[in-house]
């Protein structure tokens, strides 16, 4: 069979590659996997709620029972349980 005449030219090959790259660049990006982080006085990843909130990889924060004396500033979407 062979290559169709239109694709024998270098110009058309380059144009086809550029078109494919543009199509891939416009494809939606997949979000990274959600991560759950734990806050507790001891034995957990974080000892303060703010530390877990500051870690952008924590999409869900599970807070163990206890008293946490802190002011927490949240500037992103995050779910806090506890």
| pLDDT average per 10 residues of sequence, the chain (82 residues) | 62 66 57 78 93 95 95 96 93
**Order of strands across the sheet with 60-63?**
36-39, 60-63, 79-81
Structure tokens given for 73: 């500033």
Q: Which of 31, 78, 81 is nearest to 54 (CA)?
A: 78
CA distance 65 to 41: 9
Q: Give the pLDDT confidence score for residue 47 in this predicted structure.
A: 95
Structure tokens given for 49: 């709620």
Q: Give the pLDDT confidence score for residue 30 in this predicted structure.
A: 42
Q: Give the pLDDT confidence score for residue 29 in this predicted structure.
A: 46
CA dihedral 51, 53, 38, 68 (to 10 degrees): 60
pTM (predicted TM-score): 0.59
């Amino acid at each position: 069979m062979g290559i169709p005449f239109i694709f024998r030219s270098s110009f058309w090959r380059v144009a086809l590659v550029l078109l494919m790259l543009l199509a891939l660049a416009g494809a939606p990006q997949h979000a990274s996997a959600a991560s759950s982080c734990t806050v507790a006085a001891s034995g957990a990843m974080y000892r303060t709620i703010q530390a877990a909130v500051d870690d952008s990889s924590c999409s869900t924060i599970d807070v163990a029972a206890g008293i946490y004396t802190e002011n927490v500033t949240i500037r992103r979407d995050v779910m806090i349980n506890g």
